[in-house]
Structure formats: C-alpha cells, structure tokens
A and B are shown apart, each in its own frame.
Chain A
Amino acid sequence: MYGFEALTFNIHGGYLEAIVRGHRSGLLTVADYNNLCQCETLDDIKMHLSATEYGPYLQNEPSPLHTTIIVEKCTLKLVDEYKHMLCQATEPLSTFLEYITYGHMIDNVVLIVTGTLHERDVQELLEKCHPLGMFDSIATLAVAQNMRELYRLVLVDTPLAPYFSECITSEDLDDMNIEIMRNTLYKAYLEDFYKFCQKLGGATAEIMSDLLAFEADRRAVNITINSIGTELTRDDRRKLYSNFGLLYPYGHEELAVCEDIDQVRAVMEKYPPYQSIFAKMSYGESQMLDKAFYEEEVKRLCLAFEQQFHYAVFFAYMRLREQEIRNLMWISECVAQNQKSRIHDSVVYMF
C-alpha cells in the first residue's frame, strides 16, 4: 500500500538506504567547488580532494598528475561503492541497482563497435570503457561485422538482449546505423526500466517515473537537435522517441517535424517545466542547453532525497556522483589548460 512503506521498507532496504544517504552527505558542496576553482595546478586539486572522501583514492598517485588519472580514481570510488551496495542488496533492490548500469553497458557496446569500425586496438578501447558497464564477453564485440552477428555472438548473453528485438537488421555497421542502434537500445532500456518501476509501485514508482520521464524528454530533444540537417527521416526520428514522458504523444508529433532549433524551442515552450529551461537561453544558442538540462536534472535528483523508504535515492545518488565526476573533469581540464575563466561555464553546483 502506498503510504505504509515505513512499516516494512527497513527490513530489507534500511541498511542500504542509510549507506547511500551517508554517501550523499559526502558529495562536494559549493564551498568545495569554490576552493577547487581557485586552484592553480592539478597538485592543488589533489590536495583539496584529499581532504574530501576522495582522499584514499588519490593519495597514492605520484606527482605529475593527469586529468584522466583524477577522473579514473574518482570513478573507481563510485564503482567500489556501487559494488558494495549491489552485493548487500536483495531482490528487488538488486535488480533495480543493475538496471542503473545498463545505460553504461549500452555506451560501452557502442564505444567498442565504433572503435572497431575505425580500426582501433581492442585493448585500448577496453580501457576507455566505463567500469560500471563491463561484462564478460565485451571484448568479442570487435569480431562482429553486422548487427545480427553482434546480437548472436555476444549480446544474447547480456541483460541487453531483450532490447535488441527492435533493431536487428542485416545492414552493416556504420556511424549512422550505430547511432540509431544506440538510441533504439536506450529507448527500449528506458521503457523497460519504467515498466519495472511501475511494477514496484509506491513511492519508488512515483519518483522514478518523474525522473525517467525527464530523461526520456531530454533524450527526445537531444535526438531532435542532433538530427537536424542529417539524413535521418522524420519517421525514423519518431521511432527513436520513448513512449512515455511529458512530451508523449503530442510533443513527439511536433518535435518530429522540427527543422531547426527555434522550432524546437517553440514546441518546448508549451510545456511549463521545460519553458523555464528554454527561457534561460537566448535565441539561436544551443551550447547552454546541455548545462540547463543538467541543472534541471540535478534539481530533481536532489528532491528525490527528501522522501524516505524508496529506491529512487540509489538512482539519484549514482546520477549525482556522475555529475560530480563530470564537474571534476571539467575543472581539472580548465586548470590544466590554464583557462580558468571558463570554469564556471559548465560546473553544475549541487548543494
């Protein structure tokens, strides 16, 4: 029954909810970001981070640091925390936690397939993959030559198998098809995740529906903007939109026929939550759109922590950590390349 989770949630989920809230309190605050933005070198950044929860992960790195090392170690921390939570979780929380990583799996698959297409070394590509999305036979993706083989050889064993039914074609893999494959897989994944959350019911369903709907809408807008001017037909574009979310179905109809950004803006301004996002941008500008979307996402993710006894806190925590790692990467890059003036362009503050 919705409203009575307090009676039974803590039996199975209490420990992990406490853990995740503890982790959340260790996220970097505005004061930390201010200090980091004032750093002159990467060593200063390392010194600052050693006072935060990232300390044990960075303390053994020798002095000439690289931004990639910082990002790698911070991601390692996230992976450790995730694995700890996963091995302590019971059903259905463990399935929920696994769902969170499928997005990364899709990204890794696409990375390797694209890399193989451009004749890169497999080991090198494996190192660039996100650790949360690794699975056993990922290296064999390099052998596949078309999508059917991809599915038959490798993906049939992975959790991504059911998402493939919509996109098996016999066409060869090229850049355009890979992008379409990525978006089709992601659409199927989001819909599956949505259905799973609805099945869980209660506060989880309510909060996750809101977060996933925002994700679906954001992807719809990004797909539209990225496919303006490419060969993607309107029908193909419409097939890539998810079948839930605020924009479904009427917004999708309108987005499918958009040919430039101003038309997109006109469509989005009819929906109040997105109107505020688009109001921040002046006409014809699309670089700030990413940051505006991130800010909106972070706002909603922080709100997820206001309620207790649901699983959305885990999803929110993982996303917030990823955003934090993105922030750290941006700050490190700006510091390393001496472009401190642009630091504030892309850092999204959380608390």
Chain B
Amino acid sequence: MDHLRSEKMSFIQLIMPVESAHRAISYLGELGMLQFKDLNDDKSPFQRTFVNQVKRCGEMSRKLRFFSDQISKAGVTSSACPAFQPGISLEELEVQLAEHEAELLEMNTNSEELRRAYNELLEFKLVLLKAGRLLGSSRNHEIPAERELDENVYSKEKDQESLSLLDQETLSEMSNKAGLRFISGIICKSKALIFERMLFRTTRGNMFFNQAPAEEHVMDPVSGEMVEKIVFVVFFSGEQAKTKILKICEAFGANCYPVPEDTNKQRQMTHEVSSRLSELEATLDAGIRHRNNALASIGSQLWKWTIMVRKEKAVYDTLNMLSFDVTKKCLIGEGWCPIFAKPQIKDALQHATIDSNSQVGIIFHVMDAIESPPTYYRTNRFSHAFQEIIDAYGFVSETVEKIILYMHFCSGQYI
C-alpha cells in the first residue's frame, strides 16, 4: 500500500536562464517539493555568486529585528495589516527600512537626552524632599538625652577613642561652624551598602551617613528599567574629605545635588523644580506619543515584511547552491523530487518562464543518481503531527516500512 512507504524520488536537473531563475526558485519554493543539492560546496560563503544580495537580506532582517525589539520595549500593540497594500519590491523595501531606522534612531537619541534631563530634575526633587527631612532631624536634637540617631552612629576611630562622634550637642554646634559640611545626593539602592562602607573607610570613620529611600522609582536611561534609589546625606569636615567623597560619588555613579540648609529656600527650590519637571514631562510625553505612532505604523506591516525578507533570503541561498555557467549565461541546479510532484514542478517552471518574459524555457530532465534519495513522506495536516513525532526519533531510509506510523496512529486514540 502506498501510504506505508515513503515516496519514490527521482533525481532531476534544471537548466534555467538567468532572467527567470529568481522567479522559478520562488515558485518552486512555494511548492515545496524540491530539495536542491549544493553544487558549490567547496566555495566559501563570500565566493558565491549572490553573496551581495544575501548580505542585503541579512542587513534588512537585522533592521526588522531592531524594529520588533523597539516595539516590544515600547509596549505598542499594532493592528494587523490595515488595508490591502500592493506588494512592494525588495529594493523599495530596503529604502523604506533604512528611512524608518534612521527616523527611529533619531527619535530615540532625542528622547534619551530629554529623559536624562528629566531624570536629573526628578532626582533633584527627590533629594530636596528627603534631604530636607534628614537635615532637619539631624539638627533638631538639642537635648543630649535624645538618642534617636544611635543606630547610625559610628563610634570607632583609628585610635580607639570611645567618644561618640555624634554627641547631639556637638552636632548642633558644629553645624554652625564652617567645619562641618554635608553632601547630599542619590544613589542606586543596590550600591548603597558598598558606598557607605567605602565612605567610612576613606574618611577613617569621620563622617555620618544618613539615608532614606526615595519615593518614586527613577528610570535608568541606559537600560530603560525602573530602578530603586536611595537619598543620602553625608556629613563630614575638612577639604580633603570633600574631594575624596566627591570622587567616590563619581566612581559609584551617585549624583550629588546641593541642598540649601534653610527650609524656606528648600521649599522654593522644590517649587521651581516641580514646575520645570512638569514642562519637561509634557515634552517627553509628546515625544513618546510621536514615536509610538511611528512604531505602530511599522508594526502593522512588520510581519509581512519579515516573511518577505525571509523568502528572499531563502531564494538567494538556494540560488547560491546552483552552479553558474558563464558562457551560456544560465544556472544549473540538481535536486531530488518525488515522482508524483513532477507535473506540478513542470507547471511552476512554465509559469516562471511566462512571467519573466523569457525567450528560453527552463529545461527539466531526469537523471540517474548513484546516491540514495532523501526520504519524503506525503502528509496532510492530520498525519503531519504523527510524522513529526516519528521524525524526532530519526529519519528512516526510503525502503523501510513505516508500520510505526500506523501503530502510533492507532495508539494515538488512547492519548
């Protein structure tokens, strides 16, 4: 019985003129019944005839991957292909893709700059909010008995004095002298612990570090993710300590923002910063909306374009497998096809010749082959699944009976 064995294959040779070659291969590809043999095995990838086209297809598929990446990052959902659009050729597609990519890159750079400015202002606002509170709490303790800040007190010094560095009374004195100063800033939560430790070591313990988590999450411009940040205030004295602390802040990527000590000024600044922030936010939103529109319009056609580029690349890869006869200006290809598909193949080649207005038809003839043919099973949508399961275990050569398929088919009823 026929369906117990794989199909009978025959080895054929195609000789096609150059004009109709591309079309012929794409029609044969749609048919899916021919397996080409690679006649240019010994050549390296860039010695083959159609290497430039393959490179162009590779470049286009890279652009398409970039678009789909951007679309998924921006979270834009696009409708399926809206109206019927006429098919476009590969060259036009290339031009369009290049335009879109340039546009998108430009929009990204602009929005990145805006985003950076926005982040700075946002961080400044957060620092103002929290630092105000931190500064206030550090200064309001006139009574030595209050030990609210004990857990943040570092009482070790190099010479092992047991003097608690932050006797509350000395603090309120010191803050009035020029000696004690502070730096306020904001840093990623993940680095806060190491940062604190580093500050402690560099200043030999002569500093006080106070921190509070920031209210909102800030978006990191590089990775595009929301990061948790911590607002910190470092109290210290001396010029050398200041340079060291600033260097460490720079090394850890902590941004320092000057906070005025006076609460009125703080409130004023917060007000200013908030207004500037809302302006920037409006601009940023407009930019994002514009970009999302562009992405949506790309997204609706992305699938169609991807398929087109994939097909073209496959066609050119196949064309690379054919041997190019320069004198007769034709391409010679060899391959295997099942016998029942021969009329369909002949039809496809006929269509290709007509469509490409070529004078010469494509020659198709059967040859004898020494090697054994590849295995091909004719399956429909139902038996395809079972065939896939069997193929997972290995391909059998042509002449082996595939009773396995039958058995699997029967046992499938119990699954």
Contact = CB atoms under 8 A, between A and B. Distances in A.
A47 interface: yes
Interface in B168-206: 191, 194, 198, 201-202
B248 A140 contact: yes
Interface in A28-50: 35, 38-39, 43-44, 47-48, 50
B62 interface: yes
Contacts of A153: 198, 201-202
Interface in B36-64: 44-46, 51, 55, 58-59, 62
Interface residues of B, number: 22
A48 B45 contact: yes
B65 A44 contact: no
A38 B58 CA distance: 21
B46 A44 contact: yes
B326 interface: no
A130 B311 CA distance: 40
Interface string A272-290: 0000000000000000000
Contacts, number: 50
A63 B201 contact: no
B65 A137 contact: no
Contacts of A139: 251-253
A60 interface: yes
A43 B55 contact: yes
A48 B201 contact: no
A350 interface: no
B66 interface: yes
Contact of A142 (B51, B58, B201, B251): B251
Contact of B251 (A47, A48, A61, A122): A122
Contacts of B45: 35, 47-48, 51
A222 interface: no
B252 A143 contact: no
A140 B51 CA distance: 49
A165 interface: no
A38 B47 CA distance: 10
Interface of A: 35, 38-39, 43-44, 47-48, 50-51, 59-63, 122, 136-137, 139-140, 142-143, 152-154
Interface of B: 44-46, 51, 55, 58-59, 62, 65-66, 191, 194, 198, 201-202, 244, 247-248, 250-253
Given A47-B51, A47-B58, 20 more contacts: A39-B46, A43-B55, A44-B46, A47-B46, A47-B55, A60-B65, A60-B66, A61-B62, A62-B62, A122-B251, A137-B194, A139-B252, A139-B253, A142-B247, A143-B244, A143-B248, A143-B251, A152-B201, A153-B201, A154-B198
